[in-house]
Amino acid sequence: MVELSAQYSPHEVEQKWYSFWKEQGYFKPNMNPEAPTFSIVMPPPNVTGILHVGHALNNTWQDILIRFHRMLGDNTLWLPGTDHAGIHTQMKVEELLRSQNIDRRSIGREAFIQEVWQWKEKYGGEILRQVEKLGASVDWDRLRFTMDEGLSKAVTEVFVRLYEEGLIYRGNYITNWCVSCRTALSDIEVEHDDEKGTLTFIRYPLVDEPGEIVVATTRPETMLGDTAIAVHPDDPRWNHLVGHQVKVPLVDRIIPIIADTYVDPEYGTGAVKVTPAHDPNDFQMGERHQLPQIPVIGEDGRMTEAAGPYQGLDRYEARQRIIKDLDERGAIEKQEDLIHSVGHCEKCGTVIEPLLSLQWFVKIKPLAEPALNAVRMGAIKFVPERFEKIYTNWMENIRDWCISRQIWWGHRIPAYYCDHCDHVMVAREAPEHCDVCGGPVHQDEDVLDTWFSSALWPFSTLGWPDQTEDLKTFYPTSVLSTAYDIIFFWVSRMIMQGIHFTGQKPFTTVLLHGLVRDSQGRKMSKSLGNGVDPMDVIERYGADALRMALVLSSAPGNDQRYSDERVQAASHFANKIYNAIRYVRMNLPENFVLKPLNPHHVEDVWIIQQLNQTIEKMTAWLHEFEFGQAARAIYDFLWDDYCDWYIELSKIRMREYPSDADEVLSTLIYVAEQSLKLLHPFMPFVTEELWQSIPHEGESIMIAPWPEVMPLSHQEQALATMDRVKSLIRAGRNLRAEVNLPPGQRVQFFAVADNASVLGDWRQEEVAIRELLRAQDIAWHVKSEDVAKPHHALTGVALGGSLSLLLEGVVDLEKEAARVKKMMDQTQAELERVERQLGDQKFLERAPEPVVAKAKAQREELVSRITRLKERWEDLQ
């Protein structure tokens, strides 16, 4: 057995036991073919990342599930890995090279990729080292990376198959373009924020008759690429002009007025400019009306040659110059301030520019329908269930997915182009020459969207497309645990790709956690400076304390507020149970033999029944993913029932009845060992340290069996007795506290039971009651007409009766009477204030119903308090 030091040191304990678990191979699945299978693939954090509190919460949830199912005896796998994070990682390495005055283009693609791999080897494992510090029991031998050989093979296979099935295509379409990252982005990589803007009303003169049509726009610079003006066909203000032409100011291009039902007559003037090369909706109108496409903003965010005199200007500089020129020509009718939604690059924060570009796309609708049905039919369940609606709404309105990225770091698109005839080949292996004309070929320069590879994560990590033993055993996985804000990015795509390529769902349950916000409820961010570094918290309090604090405040789908005070409280809890087990150890004789339990004493039956109830509740809650409730159950049991009650009762019993010592110690150890197992998934380190220090069976608490309920007899009577005894002791302690008695001062009590049964329960535990109340004597009575209430006493209510503290000779009666009278007067004044409020008809009519109800409840409480104080004051006279 492990010797416990005088003080608990989480850092020494945590490092010691994590190394022990890894060395012993406890993180591996047992591969028992007869056991149920439980598997989770860790959401791969970015290789550029460091652990934040959201990661800490999610990894703790997953570790709880893994440790729980491992103790249940399941064949359990938690597979770790990281994501190559294409744009983020490239930005990091480019920044490093710039600090050395090196531009990636000057060294070329191959050399740059080598730099990225070197950076990844040096810095890319930091987040995994932090995951270890948190205590995650993942199978490190199965660690995967989205760019490793096996996963790269899976990515190529998926791309080729989708292409062969006609579900991947290439074309010129409007995409979200980041002029800083110089790449296209998918819709869900764009973050929309409300910003102040200006709506400029521009006059477009009619060509064939006097007059004009006024168009409102927030982006005047794009007017240089206008190829039509659109109005709603039913708008009486403008429909008579359909078929006429206008002249685009500044460039004097002649363009038509067209009718299209897309136009909202309520927006602006009811007429809109159509710029097919710079707006997705304009692009669609342009396709319908066969309009030309004129790109006037380039990939660098500067105006193109088609912008004429504005060529080379930054888009915002051009905007100001164009507004000035329009105003000088009298082409601006007016300008209005407005708040509108503006898209920003999720990676760097730059305002997105919708640009026409040649990209690769995935047809989503054919993939989305089976994925929708899997959720509708209940094959995949969302926890909480309310997120199914969000998933369904997104999937029903999903658009084709732009998967090509104009960067170098990532999975290069397996498409090859003939240098002679432009023939396109998509292949698993690079062709040596064109299969049409035999000419030389070159590979597409673009890479795939990072989410393309992570969409395959549940099955590619297990060996797909090869039919590996891991794939057969652990797929479909059991649970995907992730943040609710990633449903669109990742969850939906995994479901689509998993079903399409394996014929099976990728997981059974999607478990969604909320955001961890700061203490004021704000989202943590660098700009606010309110972030919390989990490594700093672990350094101060230990991983167990951080884990427990996060879990106690968590519920599926709900945000929570981080609180350093909760972490401190969890640290105090670890110290409390550590000291409790140290007390048990200190009382064990050297030759102590654990006695088989056959509990019959009321205290022993009670504590084991409390343990049984905790086992039942926790097992059910863990299966239902209610981690917060499960954590609270074991926290309350250990703190209240075991430490504050049973251990204190055991001290008295072993002192007063030495012959009971072996039975008491055996019960203490049994309950401790079972409780530590229940706590282990939440606080793995301290529980291993304490479990190893008491008599036990097995090598590690990690692989010990999950506790089972012990059959008991007479447990209902034991529970009733202990409830009455505890209630009496609490009443007595409250009375002592009310008159500020020193802890060691012995006093007299007067107990009145409602009936003989209650009195029997109290007398059965009389020794314990007397010691815990520091009572010199207790006068025991059954309620009857002959039992008079004692004079000069403070009385409290207990379950099944009452308890009075005799004050004569204990406190100064006159001072106590004056204190009670003052309390009574203060309470009376407060009652009068509430009565005036409730007597005000305006208050009753205008105040919200809950406010009025609260005031009425307060009045009732104050009346009751005055009654009690008056009785006490009269007793003191």
Short-list 227, 418, 399, 208, CA closest to 306: 227
C-alpha gyration radius of the chain: 37
pTM of the entire predicted model: 0.86
Q: Say whether pLDDT at 487 is over 80.
A: no
Amino acid at 710: M
Round to whole Å and give the CA distance between 145 and 158.
Answer: 17
User: Could you confirm whether domain 165-174+357-451 is CATH 2.60.120.380?
Assistant: no
> CA torsion, points 182, 188, 193, 194, in degrees to nearest 10?
120
Give the DSSP letter string of 553-597: T--TT--EE--HHHHHHHHHHHHHHHHHHHHHHHT--TT--PPPP
CB atoms within 10 A of CB 98: 11
Tell me the pLDDT band of 568, cut-offs 50, 70 and 90: very high
Round to whole Å and give the CA distance between 232 and 238.
Answer: 8
Give the DSSP letter string of 337-383: EEEEEEEEETTT-PBPEEEEEEEEEE--HHHHHHHHHHHHTTSSEEE
Round to whole Å and give the CA distance between 488 and 481.
Answer: 14
Q: Say whether pLDDT at 488 is over 90.
A: no
Round to whole Å and give the CA distance between 230 and 215.
Answer: 10
Run of H or E including 292 = none
Q: Say whether pLDDT at 290 is over 70.
A: yes
Residue 32, phi then psi, degrees to nearest 5: -80, 115
> What Cα–Cα distance (Å) separates residue 649 from each residue in 42, 80, 712?
45, 46, 20
Q: Say whether pLDDT at 187 is over 80.
A: no
pLDDT value at residue 869: 85
Average per-residue pLDDT in the chain?
93
Short-list 148, 161, 160, CA closest to 79: 148
Round to whole Å and give the CA distance between 662 and 592.
Answer: 8
Short-list 7, 1, 2, 3, CA closest to 576: 7
CB 11 within 8 A of CB 542: yes
Q: Say whether pLDDT at 527 is over 70.
A: no
Tell me if residue 691 falls in helix, strand or coil.
helix
Residues near 848 by Cβ (< 8 Å), separated by ≥ 6?
none
**pLDDT tens per residue, range 602-658:** 999 999 999 999 999 999 999 999 999 999 999 999 999 999 999 999 999 999 999
**pLDDT tens per residue, range 208-220:** 889 999 999 999 9
Q: Residue holding tokens 């998993």?
A: 498
> Rounded mean pLDDT of 306-329?
94
Tell me if 273 is assigned to a ligand binding site: no
Sign for the pseudo-dihedral over CA of 273, 279, 281, 287: positive
Strands 144-145 and 81-82: parallel
Round to whole Å and give the CA distance between 297 and 320.
Answer: 15
Domain at 29-156+455-539: CATH code: 3.40.50.620
What angle, rounded to 10 degrees, do the helices at 661-679 and 627-636 form? 160
Instruction: Mark out the alpha helices in 680-714 (DSSP H runs).
Output: 684-691
User: Could you confirm whether domain 564-713 is CATH 1.10.730.10?
Assistant: yes
Q: Say whether pLDDT at 875 is over 80.
A: no
Percent of the chain exceeding pLDDT 70 equals 100
Q: Which residues of 689-727 are buried (b: 16+ CB within 10 A; e: fewer)?
A: bbbbbbbbeeebbbebebbeebebeebeebbbbbebbbb
> Rounded mean pLDDT of 236-255?
93
Say which CATH topology domain 193-293+303-337 has: Isoleucyl-tRNA Synthetase; domain 2 (3.90.740)
Tell me the pLDDT band of 154, cut-offs 50, 70 and 90: very high
Q: Say whether pLDDT at 745 is over 90.
A: yes
Sign for the pseudo-dihedral over CA of 585, 591, 597, 599: negative
> Rounded mean pLDDT of 798-806?
94
Domain at 718-811: CATH code: 3.30.2320
CB 608 within 8 A of CB 712: yes
Q: Which two tokens stand for residue 573?
A: 């809890």
Give the residue extent of every domain in the chain: 29-156+455-539, 165-174+357-451, 193-293+303-337, 564-713, 718-811, 814-876
Q: If you ran DSSP here, which 8-state letter would residue 3 be given?
A: P
CB atoms within 10 A of CB 140: 15
Sign for the pseudo-dihedral over CA of 354, 355, 356, 359: negative
Q: Say whether pLDDT at 11 is over 70.
A: yes
**pLDDT tens per residue, range 400-412:** 998 999 999 999 9
Residues near 741 by Cβ (< 8 Å), separated by ≥ 6?
747, 810
Round to whole Å and give the CA distance between 228 and 254.
Answer: 9
**pLDDT tens per residue, range 347-358:** 788 898 999 889
Tell me if residue 90 falls in helix, strand or coil.
helix
pLDDT value at residue 872: 76
Short-list 55, 16, 62, CA closest to 39: 62
**pLDDT tens per residue, range 657-675:** 999 999 999 999 999 999 9
Q: Say whether pLDDT at 489 is over 80.
A: no
pLDDT value at residue 327: 94
Percent of the chain exceeding pLDDT 90 equals 77
Domain at 814-876: CATH code: 1.10.287
- Same CATH fold assignment for domains 165-174+357-451 and 564-713: no
